[in-house]
Amino acid sequence: IEQLVALGKEARACPYYGSRFAIPAAQLVVLPYQMLLHAATRQAAGIRLQGQVVLIDEAHNLIDTITGIHSAEVSGSQLCQAHSQLLQYMERYGKRLKAKNLMYIKQILYLLEKFATVLGGNIKQNPNTQSLSQTGTELKTINDFLFESQIDNINLFKVRRYCERSMISRKLFGFTERYGAVLTPSREQPRLAGVQHFLQTLQPTVTETPVSPVEEGEARLPRPASPLMHIESFLAAL
């Protein structure tokens, strides 16, 4: 790695992309086996296993690595945020979208709604204010999950291919960066708050309480990226 960095500085080129372009002509390629076992990452790096000899070091971690690669974790908050962002995206660009693209977006919205329902939540409510009716861990087969979610009539393979080809998650990321379409916790105050504040200003002994540093820090938090990326990983795991 140090030699690649030195050559990159000498040639004024990126050593990372230089090493990727050198893969087809290389006789020996050393890389983490997490990258080797993940098909999408392997294809993006231009690595072909046909006719090659693969040597795996530290193979006792292989089972855990494969399990981690083909596992996905999705929270109710991510489902609600993805639904909110995608719904705002459809409402803004719905007239520009083709009928086929609009159909797939509506299918994704339907999937997000059903996934949240299975978790015991409501997709139309703020996830930070909801209380789940069911707790604990429950193990289900894929068929049971599909039937309980009422999505067995949707071709998930086509939905996943649409997400990959249209890059809808990246478009949502740019959409949220531009318009700030993110579901945020509700901080609505009661109507009497303004009247109470006015009455307090009439009292000379009452001083205005300063804003706590925690609230200032919360206001400066960056907006999260498109949570639809996590949903795509979940669909791939199914």
Q: Is the pLDDT of residue 199 over 50?
A: no
Q: Is the pLDDT of residue 188 over 50?
A: no
Task: Write down the pLDDT at residue 194.
Answer: 46
Please compute the mean of the pLDDT values over residues 125-152 and round it to a whole number.
77
Give the per-residue SS3 of the chain.
Answer: CHHHHHHHHHHCCCHHHHHHHCCCCCCCCCCCHHHHHCHHHHHHCCCCCCCCCCCCCCHHHHHHHHHHHCCCCCCHHHHHHHHHHHHHHHHHHCCCCCHHHHHHHHHHHHHHHHHHHHCCCCCCCCHHHCCCCCCCCCCCCHHHHHHHHCCCCCCHHHHHHHHHHHCHHHHHHHHHHHHCCCCCCCCCCCCHHHHHHHHHHCCCCCCCCCCCHHHHHHHCCCCCCCCHHHHHHHHHHC
Q: Is the pLDDT of residue 72 over 90?
A: no
Q: Is the pLDDT of residue 185 over 50?
A: no
Please state, for a pLDDT cut of 70, what percent of the chain lies above it: 76
Task: Write down the pLDDT at residue 204.
Answer: 52
Which of 140-144, 171-175, 186-190, 200-204 is predicted with the least confidence, judged by mean pLDDT? 186-190
Candidates 184, 222, 179, 187; CA nearest to 91 is 179
Which residues have C-beta within 8 Å of that of residue 59, sequence separation ≥ 6? Answer: none
Q: For residue 159, how many C-alpha atoms fall within 13 Å in the half-sphere facing its CB?
A: 24
pTM, two decimal places: 0.63
Q: Are 115 and 79 in contact (CB under 8 A)?
A: yes
Please compute the mean of the pLDDT values over residues 21-29 and round it to a whole number.
84
Please compute the mean of the pLDDT values over residues 103-118 and round it to a whole number.
91
Task: Write down the pLDDT at residue 181.
Answer: 55
pLDDT band at 107 (very low <50, low <70, confident <90, very high): very high
Mean pLDDT value across the chain: 77
Please state, for a pLDDT cut of 90, what percent of the chain lies above it: 12
